[in-house]
Every structure is written in C-alpha cells, then in structure tokens.
A = this chain, B = another copy of it.
C-alpha cells in the first residue's frame, strides 16, 4: 500500500471564493482604496454566479469593513480606507461570547492599562498631557457630585492615556475590556455612601498616575496603573484570584 497524502476534499463555498479573491486583491493593494468594484450585476457575470451569491460575498466584505455599497448610476461597491472599528468589534465580540470571570477581565485590564501607562509616560505630547490634566481636574470636581459626570471624566482620562500610548491595539482592546467591566460593576459604584470614598480614592490615584506620566516616569506610571485597578476590584475577587494578580502587578 502506497501511503499517499491526500488533501481534504471539502467543498469550497462559491461565495467564499469570491470573498477571498476580492479580499486578497484589496489587501495586496491591487485594488486601491477609494476605487470601486463593478456593480453586483457585473460581478455576477464576471464570477459566473447569481446575484444573491454575489451579494452574500459583498455583505461579508462589508462586515469586514473593506467595502461599502454605493447606489446610483456609476455606482458600485467602493473600497474603504481601513478603520479600527471592526477590530474593536472583534474584541467586543470575543469578550462578549467568552464566558469570562471577573478575575480574567480584571487581569487583562491590569495588563493593558499598565503597559499603556508605561508607554504613555514615554511617548505623550503636550496636547495629550493637557487633556489628561483637565480630565483629572474634572474628576476631582465631580467626586462628590454626579456619578455619571465622574465616570465620564474617569473614562476620558484613561482614553487619553491609551491614545498617548501610541498603540491603536492597546487603545481598542482597552476600550473593549473597560466597557465589559463597566457593565459588571455598575451596581457596585452606585450603592450609596461608600461611593464618594471610592471616587475620591480613584481621583487621588489617577492624579498620581498623571504626575508619573508627566515626569515621564514609566516604571512608576505602570506600577500605579496596575495597583489602581487591582485595588479597585480586589474586594470583588476571591483570595486565590488576588494571589494571581500579584504576579502581574509586580508588587
């Protein structure tokens, strides 16, 4: 018996082949951004398939953020400039569908925020520094006032830190995980008296983080950012989970 390695004989879906052809053509630059493909009716003769099949392929490409429909004469799908939107959606989908424990999200957030703060300390510019300063000020002002104002300022501060890190991936994944966490702890923040103390604490810590970034102290910025999140959520974790956190907070 000759052992010959055969290749899989799975049927290749026709709409998928259209997606692949167009996708590689776009990613390789063969089809430049801003140009437009033939209309659905033209594509259906070019590929030799029916219109619904062409449309399914175009929908997939559209959901990948590669094209956008454009009606009218001289219309046709236009090739889009790549956007970070789909990447963020992928993160959200992954976090949303993965049945995640709070500890995993907290760990991930610590990792992201810590690194982003380290990078921001080295790479920030004046405008970003000003934005951070204003956000910290707003946090302090809102610490005893409306919870949503405070949350907005808090979010704006971290948003700027992510931006100052100069890394889109950090920013997008940070947004995704922060959003998921916010959902989980909403009740925790709103329950009465303890709220103000927590907010004052957060304001003080973020203030310290800001100063570390301002003096470009990368190590301190990372340490503060990591510790802040660990403290913020430690009361909601088990002993074992707190122990694991120690490994990445560097404390």
Contacts and interface: CB of A to CB of B under 8 A. Distances in A.
Interface in A29-87: 29, 33, 52, 55-56, 59-60, 62-66, 80-84, 86-87
A8 to B, nearest CB: 17
A189 interface: no
Contacts of A167: 104, 107-108
Contacts of A81: 97-99
Contact of A93 (B65, B119, B247): B65
Given A55-B56, A89-B64, A218 B244 contact: no
A63 B94 CA distance: 13
Q: Please indicate which of the listed interface residues A80, A84, A86, A98 has the most CB atoms of chain B within 10 Å of its own CB.
A: A98
A107 B94 contact: no
Interface residues on A, range: 35 or more
Nearest to A23: B93
Contacts of A247: 118-119, 121-123, 218
Contacts of A111: 111-112, 115, 170
Contacts of A248: 115, 118-119
A50 to B, nearest CB: 10
